[in-house]
């Protein structure tokens, strides 16, 4: 089984955690990475991509609606939109906030579970709310790989803990610095 998409959810403290994750990411780990990071409606347009781009070679983009999902790209959910995936392309929505959030991690992850099932890796990072828990449970139920940032190492432990509670544990619980190594094993090690 090869993994075809890595979905990541982050909230409070997410920028630091995401930066650390991208810093450690080997270039060979090339499935598309799709991030739902909670942020304010007024956040500077393009600001998050620019910050994350400093940590990784591959392009970091806010996708347009129906943009094809490409390997070796990092995609960031646009502020004030839900980001969903379907059939190799993105789809956006302005529907109600879910768990008080738009973008919502649950919305992204549930669409990932439906479209990618066992070919998906879902990762829940630091945060102070419950978004992502239902979504991670959906990825798990669909046969995908689940990873949660070790709550003890997270800037805010509530979100990883909520995800672990609802999904009934995860395949891996790791400090964020060790997640790139796991991704290498899962995405590259498996091919060798």
Partner 1 sequence: MALPVGRPDEPDLEQIEVGLLLEGIYRRYGFDFREYAPASLRRRLRRRMDGEGVETVSALQELVLHDPQVMERLLLDLSINVTAMFRDPSFFLAFRQHVVPLLRTYPFSRLWVAGCSTGEEVYSLAILLAEEGLSERTRVYATDINEAVIDLARLGVFPLDKMQEYTHNYIRAGGTTAFSKYYVARYDGAQFARSLADSVVFAQHNLASDAAFNEFHVITCRNVMIYFDRPLQDHVHRLFYESLAIFGILALGQKETIRQSPHERAFEELAAEERLYRKVR
Report the candidate in 22, 34, 112 with the shortest Cα–Cα distance to residue 78.
34
Residues 6+ apart with CB under 8 A from 120: 3, 4, 5, 6, 7, 112, 113, 139, 142, 144, 145
If the CB atoms of residues 127 and 135 are measured against partner 1, the closer one turns out to be: 135
Q: How far apart are CA 113 and CA 117, in angstroms?
A: 5
Query: How far apart are CB 93 and partner 1 at their closest, in Å?
Result: 5
Query: How far apart are CB 11 and partner 1 at their closest, in Å?
Result: 20
3 part of the interface to partner 1, by CB under 8 A? no
115 part of the interface to partner 1, by CB under 8 A? yes
If the CB atoms of residues 22 and 77 are measured against partner 1, the closer one turns out to be: 77
111 part of the interface to partner 1, by CB under 8 A? yes
Q: How far apart are CA 114 and CA 126, in angstroms?
A: 24
107 part of the interface to partner 1, by CB under 8 A? yes
Query: How far apart are CB 94 and partner 1 at their closest, in Å?
Result: 5
Please return the burial class of 49, using the count of CB atoms within 10 Å of its CB with bins 0-12, 13-18 and 19+.
middle
If the CB atoms of residues 57 and 95 are measured against partner 1, the closer one turns out to be: 95
If the CB atoms of residues 30 and 86 are measured against partner 1, the closer one turns out to be: 86
Give φ, ψ of 5 to 5 degrees: -155, 140
Instruction: Scan residues 60-79 and list those touching partner 1 (CB under 8 A).
Output: 62-66, 78
Q: How many residues bind partner 1 (CB under 8 A)?
A: 29
């Amino acid at each position: 089984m090869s993994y075809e998409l890595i979905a990541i959810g982050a909230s409070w403290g997410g920028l630091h955690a995401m930066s650390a994750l991208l810093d450690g990411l080997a270039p060979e780990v090339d499935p598309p990475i799709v991030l739902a990071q909670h942020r304010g409606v007024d956040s500077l347009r393009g600001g998050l991509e620019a910050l994350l781009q400093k940590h990784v070679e591959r392009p970091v983009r806010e996708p347009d609606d129906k943009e094809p999902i490409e390997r070796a790209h990092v995609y960031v959910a646009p502020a004030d939109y839900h980001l969903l995936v379907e059939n190799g392309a993105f789809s956006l929505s302005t529907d109600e906030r879910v768990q008080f959030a738009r973008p919502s991690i649950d919305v992204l992850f549930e669409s990932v579970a439906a479209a990618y099932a066992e070919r998906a890796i879902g990762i829940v990072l630091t945060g102070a709310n419950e978004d992502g828990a239902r979504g991670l449970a959906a990825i798990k139920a669909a046969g995908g790989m689940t990873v949660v940032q070790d709550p003890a190492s997270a800037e805010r432990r509530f979100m990883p803990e909520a995800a672990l509670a609802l999904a009934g544990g995860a395949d891996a619980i790791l400090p964020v610095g060790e997640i790139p190594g796991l991704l290498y094993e899962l995405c590259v090690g498996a091919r060798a």
